[in-house]
Structure formats: C-alpha cells, structure tokens
Amino acid sequence: MKMRNRVAPHSNRPPKKPQEGIWGTLTMITLGLTVLVSIYYIAAFFSPELAPFGAKSEPTLVTLLNTPTPKPTIAVTDTPIPSWTPQPSPTLRPTATPKPSMPTRTPRPTVIFTLPPTPTETLGPPTATTHPYPFRLSDEGVTYTRYFFSSECNWLGIAGEVIDQEGNPITGISVVVNGGGLNNVVTTSGNAPDYAPSGWEHFLDSQPKAGDFTIQLWHQGQPVSELVEVQTSQDCRRNLAYLIFQVAWEGYTP
C-alpha cells in the first residue's frame, strides 16, 4: 500500500529568508551582552571589589608639593607726611636762690642823742696792755661784704657785735656813728640779734654809695673804744661794713 506524502497545510506567512535569521540572532546576543555588562557595572559600582584591573589594590598616594602660600600684597599708598607741629619747650625749673644765713628783717630805727664831752681822765688802769680804751677793734678789722639778708642791691649799712676776750657776747654797749650827714646816731649792742647775740646795725641808705663814717663805742656816758673809720662804696658786693669790738683790758667788765 502506497503511502501518500502528507502535505503541510498551507500557511499565510511567507517563508523566512536565511539572512533575517542571522541578524536576529546577532541582535539577541548583542542585547544580552549589553544587559550583562550593565548588570556588571552596576554591581561594581556598589561593590568596588568586583571592579577589574586591581580594584582591590591600595590607592596610589600622590605627594603634593608644598606650594608656598602667596603672601598678601600690601598696597603701598602715598600717605602725606604730617606737618611738624612745634613742641612746647620744657619749662625750666626755677633756680633755687641761695638763702642767706640769717633771716630778713626790717632795720630798727636808730636813736640820736648828744654825747657828753670826752673825759680827760682814764677809765681804769690797763693791766698788761697799753691800749687806751677797754674795747678795741678785733684783728679782722673792718670787713666789707654783701648784705646778709638780701641779694638785691638796695641796702647800705654798718653792723657788727661786741664780745669779751673769750668771745662771749656783751650787750648794752652804745655804738655811735657819725659822718655822711649823720650826727651821733646811736644803737646798742644786742639790738640786732640776727647777726649775733650782741649784734648791732646802722642802716645808712637804700642803695650803695661812697661815704666816710666813724664808729665808736660808748658806755655810761664816756667812750670805751677808739674811733674807727669806715669807707663805703657803690659796689653791691661791699654794701655792708662789719666790725667786731672786743675787750682789750684783762678782767674788764662793763
């Protein structure tokens, strides 16, 4: 019995060409590879150890050169130089004026009286001396100096003191000045203690001037010293004549 060849039912699709099958296969392979590569790179992103080419190796340290930090540039501006203001000169301290050794005081008024005539008799026999009076001018004589109590040139006078042979003061002895328009002007030893305990003073003028004067001690109405001449000058450094009278007789007590 002969078998009949079975004929496939006729289909409406046209038969595929061989080229279309090859390209379809390549397309599927390419698509699959793309998907696999995408999955791999996504996994490597989240797991770096899966990365190729030594992803597990130590990172290379890059040594940075110490680049010096640039310093800020200071802008130089032309600042005008301030004009010089004169400084006040330092105030000089006043120079201390040397103080006189004795305080200043107002000259005391002198007393004018008429002296009795000089007696001819001797007041007492001198013992070991030939001096005619119990008082004599000291060995220093008349000393001319600047007035002790003022540095100004506005005074002229005669002053001094009366002492015994040991240098003790003797007060109450009259000191008489004559000359320069003065006539028997008297002061007493001890009335000017600023000079010494037995000090005395005659104020002559308010300015130095040349003049001739005499000084003599009197006691109990009779002279007890010789006349001593004093010559004044216009020199301010010599506006005071200073005299010291001392007991000449041994054991004399006024």
pLDDT tops 70 at residue 6 = no
How many whole angstroms separate alpha carbon 254 and alpha carbon 247? 9
pLDDT confidence tier of residue 40, bands split at 50, 70 and 90: confident
Q: Which residue has the higher pLDDT, 19 or 26?
A: 26
How many whole angstroms separate alpha carbon 200 and alpha carbon 108? 10
Domain boundaries of the chain, sorted by first residue: 21-50, 111-247
Residue in this structure with the two tokens 């004399």, named with its chain if needed: 252
Q: What are phi and psi of 111, to 5 degrees?
A: -110, 130
Give the Cα-Cα-Cα angle 179, 183, 184 (nearest 5 degrees).
Answer: 110
How many whole angstroms separate alpha carbon 208 and alpha carbon 239? 6
Residue in this structure with the two tokens 């005499």, named with its chain if needed: 214
pLDDT of residue 128: 47
Q: Which residue has the higher pLDDT, 236 or 108?
A: 236
pLDDT of residue 45: 75
Q: Which two tokens stand for residue 242?
A: 């200073």
How many whole angstroms separate alpha carbon 177 and alpha carbon 118? 15
Architecture in CATH for domain 111-247: Sandwich (2.60)
Are the C-beta atoms of 84 and 183 separated by less than 8 Å?
no
Q: What are phi and psi of 131, to 5 degrees?
A: -70, 130
Q: Which two tokens stand for residue 88?
A: 């006040």
pLDDT tops 90 at residue 23 = no
How many whole angstroms separate alpha carbon 16 and alpha carbon 251? 184
pLDDT of residue 46: 72
pLDDT in tens, 198-216: 999 999 999 999 999 999 9
pLDDT tops 80 at residue 29 = yes
Q: Which residues pair with 242 in a beta bridge?
A: 143, 159
pLDDT of residue 38: 82
Q: State mean pLDDT over 29-54.
A: 74
pLDDT in tens, 122-166: 455 444 457 899 999 999 999 999 998 988 999 999 999 999 999
